[in-house]
Every structure is written in structure tokens, then in C-alpha cells.
A and B are shown apart, each in its own frame.
Chain A
């Protein structure tokens, strides 16, 4: 069964450094998302992406964040200058029709 793939599974970065989280959505899916889950808390929406542009973003998704679909298969989340509070699990998800979302297994980001 096709699945959403995220790399790396765990990333440790120094505060202030840039980090790129990578995702390969399911190939025939058209809608792409990033979510964040701070340890012990609920999953929070960051951004949705459709037709090569951001369709919606949350207040968390400020100027430090950006997303890109550089080719036909990858979908990336960049955090420009990481802060301690960016430490979280980041989930990529994709959807064929914009309803049911399939999630990747997440990237655990630790900012030190």
C-alpha cells in the first residue's frame, strides 16, 4: 500500500540553524499538509498546499517557516532560524481529494 515517507526520522539542530524536513507524499495525491505535535500535546495544523501554492496556514506558520514542492515528488518544510520551542514531532500528510489524509511517520525535531 502506498505511504507517505518522511526523512529524517529524527533531527537534532542547534538553535538558530536552518532545518529542512522532507516528505514524499503519495504519488497521485494533490493536497499536502504539515502538522506539528509538541510532546504530550495535540496535533496542530501548520499549512496546507494545493496546486503549487499555500492554500491555508495557521498563526504558528510565521515568516520563519516555508514550504516548497521543488519537483514532482518531494514536499519540504523549512524552518529558517530554529528556536527551542520548535522542538516537536512534525508530520507530513497528503490527500487525494482533500478529505481523508494519510500521514507519514513523522520527523522528531530537537533544537538544542
Chain B
């Protein structure tokens, strides 16, 4: 069975600092996508960043970037210049290529950005 593991239930960071959230996954498939979703206190699920497994280049979206290590099945999220609005629950998620988009989520990491 495919699993996604986030080993850090909670993290905190000072405003303007950089923080890295960890995620590992387990699959025997070769073609898949990885995502980070943000869930602020409003509980809306917001897509932060996406990575295709066939791409070696790490995805970047403004202050958010990933470190994708396919052999190690690791997919960490780096948030640079942290802002108070980044305070949220962050979920790592996984879906197979061409299988309809069902997402498998990790348990989440609660990030607090402190002023």
C-alpha cells in the first residue's frame, strides 16, 4: 500500500527565517505526482506546490521550494522568508500518474510562524 509520512507533527519558525518540512512516501510505482497543500485555520485546502516524479528539477513557487529525492522517496518543503500568513497545517500528498487523481495524504505538520 502507498503511504505518506510526515514525521514532524509541529514546527515553529521566526518570521523572515527559513523552515523545512519533511515528507517521505512509499510506492513501487515510477510515475506519480507529489504535492504540498496548506490548510490555514479556515480549513480551506490550498495547493502550494506540485512536483512530477519524472522531472529531476525541483519545483519552485516564489518563497516555496521542494527538495525531491526520488531514490530516497523524500519530498521536503522549504519555506523561505517565513510570513505570519504561512501559519497553517501543511499536508504532503501523493497521486499516481494517469489513475484519476486520488490523493493520499500524510498526517500533516502544524507550522507556527512567530513574530
A-side residues, CB < 8 A to B, are 31, 33, 35, 37, 41-45, 48, 50, 55-56, 89, 91, 93, 95, 97-103, 105-106, 108
Contact = CB atoms under 8 A, between A and B. Distances in A.
A91 B44 CA distance: 9
Contacts of B107: 41-42
A55 B107 CA distance: 25
Contact of B101 (A31, A43, A105): A31
A99 B95 contact: yes
B91 interface: yes
A98 B105 contact: no
B101 A106 contact: no
B45 A56 contact: no
Interface string B88-109: 0001010101111111111110
Contact of B91 (A43, A48, A55, A89): A43
